[in-house]
Every structure is written in C-alpha cells, then in structure tokens.
C-alpha cells in the first residue's frame, strides 16, 4: 500500500486528493459512479444517502468531494484566502492542538518528511481556524483525527467549511467544557444491547461503556488505520443522523457476541480491554449493515432505562435528527449556549448536593437549631408559650403527683 500511495503526487490545491482510491473497473461500479454523479448534480440527498450506505460507499475521493458537502448541508468553498482568521484572538486550547498535530498522519498517507510537515501545517491551520472562529468550542484530544480525514478527502479549502459544520452540527456535544454529554451518549449502548440481546447485555453489565469513548468521540477516526476504510465509513456516518455512530458501536459488540461470552464475567478488565479495540479484520460492510438494522429495529425513542430521555434536548443527537442539513451554524451556536448553561446548572446542583452530603451532620444540627429557634419565636409572639408551659406543669403534676 505504501508504494501505491507514494506514487500519488502531493496535492497543491483543493482539487487534488492525497490518496486516490482505485476501485475495480466493472460495469457495476461504473453504473454506481454515474448514479453518484447524477445525484450530486441534482443535489438529490435521498439518492446520495442510499448510495453512501450501499456496499462500497461513495467509491473514491473525487466523488466524495462532490457528495460530502451536499450531505453536510451544501458546503461551499470559502472565498476567503487572506488568512484573516490569524488575527483573531488565540484559542485557549491551541497548545494542545499543536501537541496532537505532531502525532498526526501516523497511518496515512505515506509521504516524505517535507510533505509531512506541510500536511501538519495545513491540519494545524484548519483546526485553529475553526476554534478561533468559534471560540466557545472546547478542543478534545482526538478531534485532530476527525479533521485529518476531512483535510485529506476534501482538500484545505472545502475542509474549512465542512469541519465547521461537523464541529457544530455533529460533534458539538463533545466540544462542551464537560464530557458528561459524551458519557450520556455512551449509556445508549447498554440500552441498545438490552433491546437487541438481553443475555449479552447481562454478561457485560459489570463493565461500563467507557470502552467506546475513543471510537465514538472521534467518529472512529482514531481507531481505524486504513484510509480507505475510514473514508468509506464516513460516507455512511455523514449520510445518517449523529446517533447512528452510537448504534454502530453497539452493532460491533453484537457481532463479537461469541468472543465476548467466552470471557468470564469476573474479568471486567479483560472485557473492557477487548471491547475497547475494534475487531480485526474489520468487516466494514457488515458493520454498516448491522448498525442500520439496529437503528431501524430499535430507534432511540424505544430504548429502555430512560436512556434517550436523559439526553439533553439541546444535544446534537436530538436537534440533528435530519442530519443537520437544514440547520445553520448560528442555530447550532445558540443550541451550544443553551446546553452549556444547562450543564452549568447541573454541575452547580451536583456540587451543592455533594457539599450538603459532606457536611450533613453539622448541617443537620444547625438546621434543627434554626427550626427550634423559629418555633420558639412563633410561640412567644403568639402567646402560646405561656399556655404550653402551663400545660407541661399540669402534665408533670398528673404524672408524678
């Protein structure tokens, strides 16, 4: 594979792909290629969704450069080339961005050191521009894996607008100051398993679904090492609403049922380790088909444990049910702000509850003293205190003579 990639010239503008897929020329693939081209020309989203989901996805990067922007909501190449974003205030997470970019392009594409440095510079600019333009977003480790895919497939200019829409309309929950929304996403996995296979769900009940965090957080770009595989998977993910990425991980678990049932329940560490690694070899087409079957059979609203109800109404999982194609970035920013404030209220209530629990004994004593003082004041002001004392004296005489 390295030799094949090395023969591809470096892309010098947005019109060149860094990695050209080479699908086998056949009448079937030719027909599909023509269908994709026609769907792009007509901006037929429904047809593109079917083509992106079917075996092989959107075939190659040339077609993806036409199809992905439509699936993302008619992304267009930005006219801005003056680099004015560089004059914007630095984002608080830029130091971490640089650390992660230094570790980028580990698996693909293969290129000479000078070209690799150029690609890292493009990736850094792409991420930092997005963060500076939308400073409310918090960077998370692994975001660079997502950005890398869009840079390689779409080229620098198209990727700028595409990454902004992906950030605000697909992974917005992960770019809040807290990862608690991401944890709630993960809780959908055991709920899906409960509906699809209660036996397997019980077997895994001692293992929290944090094993899926890296994969779902990065839309699988962190875990999939083959460029052709991650590009094809993104065909599928971009064609469907964001929650499908969670169903995909549940589908992966179900497809590994026999392997997982062989691991004893009293070895949760081994279960966690196994679940945190994608199976090899990767049956990508089978995973896609299984995920869609799961989603259609057990839609989010039907899941048990109130798993779906616990997802914020401002979450991308609930506000992007139509794949965010009809949403604007301004609407997404407003939803981000609403969810951020909701998180702040939840965290305040939690901290207050923790504080009260920590000091529950002294607080209880203080509360009792305050209550007694208030009752005493009430009795005194109402004149009932003398009546109460008289009653107590008569009671004492009656009891003790």
Under CATH, which number does the domain 2-22+60-169 receive? 1.10.8.1310
> Looking at residue 209, what DSSP letter applies?
G
Give dist(CA 276, CA 287) in Å, integer.
16
In the numeric block, which tokens belong to residue 330? 């301004």
More confident call, 362 vs 257: 257
pLDDT for 382 equals: 54
Give dist(CA 125, CA 88) in Å, integer.
13
In order of 74, 192, 237, 356, the CA distances from 156 in angstroms are 17, 38, 21, 52
pLDDT in tens, 103-153: 999 999 988 999 999 999 999 999 999 999 999 999 999 999 999 999 999
Whether 178-327 and 2-22+60-169 are alike in CATH topology: the answer is no
pLDDT for 151 equals: 98
CB atoms closer than 10 angstroms to residue 183: 13
Residue (of 332, 343, 237) closest to 284 by Cα position: 237
pLDDT in tens, 303-338: 999 999 999 999 999 999 876 567 899 999 999 999
Number of residues in the chain: 401
10 Å CB burial of residue 39 (0-12, 13-18, 19+) is buried
pLDDT for 398 equals: 46
CA angle 298-36-233, nearest 5°?
Answer: 45
Domains in the chain: boundaries? 2-22+60-169, 178-327, 362-400
Tell me which of 236-240, 241-245, 291-295, 388-392 is least confident.
388-392
Give dist(CA 301, CA 201) in Å, integer.
19
pLDDT in tens, 177-190: 999 999 999 999 99
Strands (E), 11-104: none
Q: Which fold has domain 178-327?
A: Cyclin A; domain 1 (1.10.472)
Is the pTM value of this prediction over 0.95? no
pLDDT in tens, 58-74: 999 999 999 999 999 87
Is it the case that residue 248 has pLDDT exceeding 90? yes
Counting residues of the chain whose pLDDT is more than 90, the rounded percentage is 73
Strands (E), 80-146: none
């Amino acid at each position: 594979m390295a030799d094949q990639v090395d023969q591809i010239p470096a892309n010098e503008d947005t019109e060149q792909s860094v990695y050209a897929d080479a699908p086998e020329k056949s009448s079937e693939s030719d027909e599909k290629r023509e269908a994709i081209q026609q769907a792009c020309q007509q901006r037929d989203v429904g047809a593109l969704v079917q083509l992106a989901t079917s075996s092989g996805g959107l075939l190659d990067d040339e077609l993806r450069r036409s199809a992905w922007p439509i699936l993302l909501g008619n992304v267009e190449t930005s006219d801005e080339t003056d680099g004015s974003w560089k004059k914007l205030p630095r984002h608080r997470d830029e130091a971490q961005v640089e650390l992660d970019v230094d570790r980028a392009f580990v698996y693909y594409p293969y290129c000479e050191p000078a070209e690799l440095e150029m690609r890292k510079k493009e990736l850094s600019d792409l991420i930092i521009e997005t963060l500076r333009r939308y400073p409310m977003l918090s960077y998370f480790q692994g975001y660079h894996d997502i950005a890398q895919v869009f840079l390689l497939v779409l080229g620098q200019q198209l990727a700028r607008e595409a990454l902004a829409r992906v950030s605000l309309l697909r992974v917005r929950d992960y770019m809040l100051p807290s990862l608690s929304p991401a944890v709630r996403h993960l809780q959908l996995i055991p709920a899906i398993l409960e509906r699809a296979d209660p036996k397997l769900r019980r077997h895994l009940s001692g293992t929290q679904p944090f094993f899926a965090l890296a994969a779902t957080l990065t839309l699988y770009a962190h875990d999939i090492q083959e460029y052709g595989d991650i590009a094809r998977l993104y065909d599928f993910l971009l064609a469907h609403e964001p929650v499908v990425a969670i169903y995909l991980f549940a589908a992966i678990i179900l497809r590994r049922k026999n392997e997982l049932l062989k691991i004893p329940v009293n070895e949760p560490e081994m279960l966690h380790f196994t679940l945190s690694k994608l199976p090899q070899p990767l049956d990508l087409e089978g995973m896609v088909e299984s995920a869609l079957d799961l989603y259609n059979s057990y839609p989010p609203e039907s899941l048990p444990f109130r798993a779906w109800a616990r997802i914020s109404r401002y979450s991308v999982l609930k506000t992007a049910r139509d794949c965010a194609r009809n949403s604007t970035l301004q609407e997404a920013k407003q939803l981000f702000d609403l969810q951020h404030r909701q998180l702040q209220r939840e965290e305040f209530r939690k901290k207050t509850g923790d504080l009260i629990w920590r000091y529950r004994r002294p607080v209880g004593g203080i509360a009792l003293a305050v209550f007694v003082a208030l009752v005493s004041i009430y009795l005194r002001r109402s004149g009932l205190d003398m009546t109460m004392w008289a009653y107590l004296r008569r009671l004492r005489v009656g009891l003790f003579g």
